[in-house]
C-alpha cells in the first residue's frame, strides 16, 4: 500500500483491478475542509487517462509490474514470438500489446515485456534503432542545402522522412518515439 501523499510521477498503482501510472498529481489544501490529492492516471494496458481525486492520506495498493528482457524472434502471423533471455521460454505477444511499436521490430532485437498479474500489458522498445534503407528515391548531387526531405522505406517496412542525400543501402539511426531520422551510421 502507498499513501496518496507519497505520489510521484511514474509510480504505478492498482485501481479496480487495473494498473495505472501517475502522470500528474497535485496536493490541494483548501481553506475549508480537509486536504486532497488530484491525480491524472494513465492506464498501463490501454493507454487511456483518467483524473481521480483522493482524500489526503488515503492508501491505495501499489501495482507490481514485472519487466522481463526478451528477444524478438519472428512474426508467426497471429502474434510476435519472443524468447525470455533467462529461461529461454517462448511466448507469443499480440499486436495490440505491442501497438504502434510493431513497425520497428527487427529479428533478434532485445525488448522489455511488462507483465501485470501474469498477463502481458505492454512492451518497452529501445528509444533508438539502426535500420537499413531498402527503398528510396536516388539522391541528387548538390541537393543538400535546402533541408528538403523524401520518404524512405526501412528493412522493417516502416516509412520515415529522410534528407535528400540518403540512398538505398544506407544504415540510419531512427528515434522510434517520434519516428524521426537522426543520422547515418
pLDDT in 10s for each residue of the chain, 185 residues: 899 888 988 888 999 888 898 999 999 988 888 899 999 999 887 778 999 999 988 999 998 888 899 999 999 888 899 999 999 999 999 888 787 888 899 999 999 998 888 888 888 888 999 999 999 988 666 666 667 888 999 998 899 999 888 889 999 999 988 889 999 88
CATH for 2-60, among 2.30.30.30, 3.40.1710.10, 3.90.920.10, 1.10.357.10? 2.30.30.30
Quickly count: other Cβ atoms within 10 Å of residue 59's Cβ. Answer: 12
Residues carrying CATH 2.30.30.30, the chain: 2-60
CATH code of the region 65-124 = 2.40.50.140
CATH code of the region 128-184 = 2.40.50.140
d(CA 123, CA 91): 13
Residues carrying CATH 2.40.50.140, the chain: 65-124, 128-184
d(CA 116, CA 45): 9
d(CA 142, CA 151): 18
Amino acid at each position: 500500500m502507498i499513501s496518496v501523499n507519497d505520489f510521484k510521477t511514474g509510480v504505478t498503482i492498482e485501481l479496480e483491478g487495473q494498473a495505472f501510472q501517475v502522470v500528474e498529481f497535485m496536493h490541494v489544501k483548501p481553506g475549508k475542509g480537509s486536504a486532497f490529492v488530484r491525480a491524472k492516471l494513465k492506464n498501463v494496458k490501454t493507454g487511456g487517462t483518467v483524473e481521480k481525486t483522493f482524500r489526503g492520506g488515503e492508501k491505495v495498493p501499489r501495482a507490481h509490474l514485472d519487466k522481463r528482457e526478451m528477444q524478438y524472434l519472428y512474426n508467426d502471423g497471429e502474434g510476435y514470438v519472443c524468447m525470455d533471455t533467462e529461461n529461454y521460454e517462448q511466448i507469443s505477444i499480440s499486436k495490440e500489446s505491442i501497438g504502434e511499436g510493431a513497425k520497428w521490430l527487427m529479428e533478434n532485437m532485445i525488448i522489455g515485456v511488462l507483465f501485470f498479474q501474469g498477463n502481458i500489458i505492454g512492451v518497452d522498445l529501445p528509444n533508438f534503432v539502426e535500420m537499413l534503407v531498402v527503398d528510396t528515391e536516388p539522391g541528387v548531387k548538390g541537393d543538400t542545402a535546402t533541408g528538403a526531405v523524401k520518404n524512405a522505406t526501412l528493412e522493417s517496412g516502416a516509412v520515415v522522412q529522410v534528407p535528400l542525400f540518403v540512398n538505398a543501402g544506407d544504415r540510419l539511426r531512427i528515434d522510434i518515439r517520434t519516428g524521426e531520422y537522426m543520422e547515418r551510421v
